[in-house]
Structure 1
């Protein structure tokens, strides 16, 4: 025989201790545990600590969402500015087709002055 077979003890299976007959006669039901209303309660310090952690986490989430929204708004604003510049350039090109070049330049300068005054 080998030494390994002799030295390795086989664990005995855990046998549940019979509880006997239930008083109400419903042996098919699982036995209930005692009612302990204070078992799940936490201390005040632990509750306040958890609240502080959740508030920190929510603040960080809000900060991240705000940053993401700011990036999104900047991208949208850049698109709007780009489209406005393109429209203005096309408008001036269309004016240049019918008008003299120097007159278009004068109108550009005049419109820029008006924009500065109005904004």
Structure 2
């Protein structure tokens, strides 16, 4: 006995074997347990994702700015058309009045209506 070399017990070598979590339901304990299929997991770093988010937010802000600019231009054109139509209708109305009344009286009414419009707004 004295001639035998006593080796201290070391941790069992189980690095390559996965830890058993219990009996497998299908009875195939000799197969390696499967892991989830995650092809993109860990491929992008957090900093890279943050950078992508910043660039996307910048692009969206630019798009929103361009859309707002386009919409304001559209609204301006619509307002121009409305003003032109209103002026044309008013002009036609005064022409109809001029057919029935004297020209000077129509001009007087125009001035009076302008004053009333300015007082209202």
TM-score, normalised by the number of residues in structure 1: 0.67
Q: Name the residue aligned to 1:94.
A: 96
The CA deviation string for residues 29-66 of structure 1, in whole angstroms up to 9 with x for no partner, is xxxxx866475332111111000000000000000101
Per the alignment, residue 66 of structure 1 pairs with: 68
Structure 1 unaligned regions, length at least 5? 1-33
Q: Which runs of 4+ in 1 moved over 6 A?
A: none
1:40 aligns with 41
CA shift, 1:112, in A, is 0.2
Whichever structure has more helix as a proportion of its residues is 1
Mapped pair 1:85 → 2:62:
no
Aligned to 1:25: none
CA distance in 2, matches of 1:56, 1:39: 25
Could you list the runs of 5+ residues in structure 2 that have no partner in the other structure?
A: 1-34
Aligned length: 86
Q: 1:112 aligns with which of 106, 111, 114?
A: 114
The one of 34, 44, 53 equivalent to 2:55 is 53
Q: Distance in 1 between matches of 2:55 and 2:77?
A: 33
Tell me, in whole angstroms, the C-alpha distance in 2 between the residues paired with 1:39 and 1:92: 74
Larger Rg: 2
User: Which secondary structure state, in structure 1, belongs to the residue aligned with residue 41 of structure 2?
Assistant: coil
In structure 2, the CA distance between the partners of 1:79 and 1:39, relative to structure 1 (3 Å rule), is closer
2-structure distance, mates of 1:69, 1:36:
46
Question: Please, what is the CA RMSD of the aligned residues?
Answer: 1.7
